[in-house]
């Protein structure tokens, strides 16, 4: 009986202590939750932790591996200085990949921005069947890169696809090599990337055009501005933030190009190779983890000049 009474007393004491702690916690938390900033911090804390862990800590880890001697299947974090970076900058394939990056970025960014703007300008005229055409233009963006890459690979084969259509039209002597060209194959695959991403850029520009007040358009028309003058002096200047966003997205996509060479291959003489695919092969196929980390770190450094001006402009707008 005494033991049972003792257990009952302990259980009661635990409940009382627990109730006291709950009340004290509630009294402490209640005024803390009345502060909107503190509530926002509490709600964003999991996301901030995830970003810090899976992005910034892993970026630091990649930079550390890039200066280690881990270039074999066995883990080796011995400090190697700039050994991997020197090896990277003396690799002929890396030089080809830098040239490919310039070609791909020039062709891909130009096509996406120009085609996207033209399509948005046409849809902005509120043509009949606008919803249908808008869906058609956006559909490639929803298609898997593997599917679109496979289709475009067949279309650009020298013996089939587009060349077969050209031959049927009577131009049998015209057979471009497309992505098989040893020097300009990278320009050919920009068509694949632009076909998939131009619809998204079109959606950005269309949203920007629809956000321009009708009063500005009407005032420009009253002043005698034609269609070309309207776009040159009203629409295009007011769409600079949208163009800036499109440049950032297409520029980052150019640097991170991996899907296309992984599908169609690197071509003759690495004509369609990319830094992303080069990093993948060095890291996961050759077990050169230090060299692969150096390539990944370099891709990060190349992305900074593209993304940093955008972040500065966003912060400046928020302050204003």
Q: How many structural domains is the chain composed of?
A: 2
Do the domain assignments include residue 201? yes
Query: For residue 271, is it within any domain?
Result: yes
- Torsion sign over Cα 233, 234, 235, 238: positive
Are 104 and 25 in a shared domain? no
Task: Tell which wins on pLDDT, 108 or 148.
Answer: 108
Report the candidate in 84, 49, 314, 265 with the shortest Cα–Cα distance to residue 157.
265
Considering the domain architecture, whether residues 8 and 146 belong to the same structural domain is answered as: no
Span 182-220, pLDDT tens digits: 888 999 999 999 999 999 999 999 999 999 888 888 888
Cβ–Cβ < 8 Å for 217, 72: no
Which residue range is the domain that position 145 belongs to?
Answer: 83-150+178-319
Biggest CA-to-CA distance, the chain: 107
| Judgement on whether residues 18 and 98 belong to the same structural domain of the protein | no
Q: Quickly count helices (H) and strands (E) in the chain.
A: 16, 0
Q: What is the pLDDT of residues 129-184, one digit of tens each?
A: 888 999 999 999 988 888 888 888 889 888 888 888 888 888 878 888 899 888 88
pLDDT for 137 equals 92
pLDDT at residue 2 greater than cutoff 60 = no
6 shares its domain with 96: no
Residue 161 placed within a domain: no
Is 49 domain-assigned? no
Contacts of 179 by beta carbon, 8 Å cutoff, 6+ apart: 153, 156, 185, 186, 188, 189, 264, 267, 271, 272
Q: Counting beta carbons within 10 angstroms of the beta carbon of residue 201, is it exposed (0 to 12), middle (13 to 18) or buried (19 or more)?
A: buried
95 and 28 in a single domain? The answer is no
Residue 143 lies in a domain: yes
Do 120 and 191 lie in a common domain? yes
Residues 231 and 125 in one domain: yes
Regarding whether 188 and 291 lie in a shared domain, the answer is yes
Which tokens go with 36?
């909107």
Check residue 38 and give its pLDDT: 66
| CATH assignment of the domain containing 185 | 1.10.3720.10
Residue 272 and residue 315 in contact, taking contact as beta carbons nearer than 8 Å: no
Same domain flag for 27 and 109: no
Same domain, 213 and 278: yes
Q: Which residue has the tokens 């992305």?
A: 303
241 in a structural domain: yes
Confidence band of 294 (pLDDT split at 50, 70, 90): very high
DSSP state of 223: T
Q: Is 287 left (phi over 0), alpha (psi -120 to 50) or beta?
A: left
**Does any domain span residue 312?**
yes
Pair (5, 145) in one structural domain: no
C-alpha distances in Å from residue 7, one per residue of 15, 18, 21: 12, 16, 21
Is residue 45 one of the residues assigned to a domain? no
Residue 6 and residue 145 in one domain: no
Tens of pLDDT, residue by residue over 31-78, are 655 566 666 777 778 888 888 888 889 999 999 999 999 999 998 899
């Amino acid at each position: 009986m005494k033991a049972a009474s003792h257990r009952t007393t302990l259980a009661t004491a635990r409940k009382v202590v627990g109730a006291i702690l709950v009340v004290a916690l509630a009294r402490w938390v209640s005024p803390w939750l009345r502060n909107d900033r503190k509530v926002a911090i509490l709600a964003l804390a999991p996301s901030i932790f995830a970003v810090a862990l899976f992005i910034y800590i892993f970026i630091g880890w990649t930079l550390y591996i890039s200066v280690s001697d881990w270039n074999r299947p066995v883990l080796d974090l011995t400090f190697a200085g700039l050994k991997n970076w020197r090896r990277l900058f003396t690799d002929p394939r890396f030089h080809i990949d830098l040239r490919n990056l310039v070609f791909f970025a020039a062709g891909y960014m130009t096509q996406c921005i120009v085609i996207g703007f033209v399509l948005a300008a046409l849809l902005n005229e509120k043509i009949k069947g606008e919803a249908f055409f808008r869906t058609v233009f956006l559909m490639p963006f929803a298609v898997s890169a593997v599917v679109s890459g496979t289709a475009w690979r067949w279309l650009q084969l020298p013996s089939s696809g587009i060349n077969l259509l050209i031959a049927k039209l009577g131009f049998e002597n015209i057979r471009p090599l497309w992505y098989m060209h040893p020097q300009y194959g990278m320009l050919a695959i920009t068509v694949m990337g632009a076909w998939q991403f131009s619809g998204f850029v079109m959606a950005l520009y269309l949203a920007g055009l629809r956000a321009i007040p009708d009063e500005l358009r009407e005032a420009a028309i009253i002043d005698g501005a034609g269609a070309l003058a309207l776009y040159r002096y009203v629409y295009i200047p007011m769409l600079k933030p949208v163009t800036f966003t499109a440049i950032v997205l297409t520029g980052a996509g150019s640097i991170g190009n991996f899907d296309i060479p992984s599908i169609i291959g690197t071509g003759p003489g690495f004509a369609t190779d990319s830094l992303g695919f080069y990093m993948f092969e060095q890291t996961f196929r050759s077990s050169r983890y230090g060299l692969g980390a150096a390539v990944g770190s370099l891709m990060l450094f190349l992305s900074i000049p593209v993304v940093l001006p955008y972040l500065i402009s966003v912060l400046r707008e928020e302050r204003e």
